[in-house]
Structure 1
C-alpha cells in the first residue's frame, strides 16, 4: 500500500499535481489541511481514497477538524494540528494518540517536515508543498508504504 501525505497547499496546486504525477499509482491521499477551498478539485486528481481535514485557513470549509481511520493494522489520527499547539511541540498529539489508542498521528500547520517514533507511536508532518519553512525551504511531502508484512515505512520527499 502506498499513501501520499501532503499538507498546507493553500490553494496553490501546481506542486501537488506534479507530486501526484511523480508518485502514482497511490492507494490513498492524505491532506492535512489548509486546502483553501480546493478539496473537490483535489479529490478529482486521484482515483483513490482521499482523506482531508480542515486547517486554520480553511474558512467556511465542510471538512472535519480531524479524522480517525485505519491503514492496514495501524490506527491513525489526522489533524491540521493548530488545536494541539504543534507550533510549540508535539506532546499534546502524543498524549492524544495514547489516550485514543492510535499508532500514528499526522499533522500539518508548521510547514516543516517532522517524523518521530517513540513508544510505538509515530508522529509525522509532511511539511508544505506551497510555503515550506524549514532550512532550504524546499517543498516537501511524505510517502508512507505498508509492505507485504504489514509494516509501515516513511519517506520525507522534496521537490
Structure 2
C-alpha cells in the first residue's frame, strides 16, 4: 500500500498538484490540516480515499479535529498537532496516539518535516508544501509504503 502524506497547503494547490502527479498512483492521501477550504478539491485531485483533518487555520470547517485510520496492520492517529503542543515537543502527541491504541501519528502545524520514533510511536510530519520553515525551505511531503505485512517504510521527499 502506498500513502501520500501532506500538510499545511494553506489553499495553495500548485505544489500539492506537483506532489500528487509525481507520486501517482497511490492508495490513500492523508492531509494533516490547514487546507483552508480546499478539501473537496484535494479529494477530487487525489482520486482515492482521503483522510483530511482540520488545522488551526481551518476556520468554520466541518473537517474532524483528528481521525484514527487503519493502514494495513497499523492504527494511525491523524491530527494537525496544535492541540498537543508539537511546536515544543512531541511527547503529548505520542501519548495521545498510544492511548488510542495507535502505533503511529501523522501531524502537521510546524511546517518542518519530522520522521522519528518516540516511546514506540512512529511520528511523521510531512512538512509544508506551501510555507516550509526548515533550513533550505524546500516544500516537502512524505510517502509511506507498506510491505504487505504491515511494516511501514516512510520517506520525506522534496519538490
- TM (norm. structure 1) is 0.97
Q: Which moved more, 1:98-107 or 1:24-33?
A: 98-107
Q: Which moved more, 1:91-100 or 1:59-68?
A: 91-100
Pairwise mapping of residues 49-60 of structure 1 onto structure 2 (< 5 A)?
Answer: 49-60=49-60
Matching residue of 1:3: 3
Counterpart Cα distance in 1 of 2:60 and 2:130: 21
DSSP-derived class of the 1:57 partner: coil
Contact 2:71 2:150 survives alignment (8 Å): no
Contact 2:94 2:118 survives alignment (8 Å): no
Matching residue of 2:70: 70
Q: Which moved more, 1:96-105 or 1:14-23?
A: 96-105
Shift of 1:132: 0.1
Counterpart Cα distance in 1 of 2:47 and 2:136: 32
Shift of 1:97: 1.7
Mapped pair 1:15 → 2:28: no
Q: Deviations over 1:2-37 (max 9, x none)?
A: 000000000001000011001000000000000000
Mapped pair 1:109 → 2:115: no
Shift of 1:118: 3.8
DSSP-derived class of the 1:17 partner: helix
Number of residues of Structure 1 aligned to a counterpart in Structure 2: 159
Q: Deviations over 1:98-137 (max 9, x none)?
A: 2221101010000000011244310110000000000000
Mapped pair 1:148 → 2:148: yes
Question: Alignment RMSD, CA only?
Answer: 0.9
Counterpart Cα distance in 1 of 2:8 and 2:124: 14
Counterpart Cα distance in 1 of 2:150 and 2:57: 35
Contact 2:5 2:30 survives alignment (8 Å): yes
Q: Deviations over 1:41-63 (max 9, x none)?
A: 10000121010000000001110
Unmatched segments (≥5 aa) in structure 2: none
Matching residue of 1:131: 131
| Dislocated runs of 4+, deviation >2 Å | none
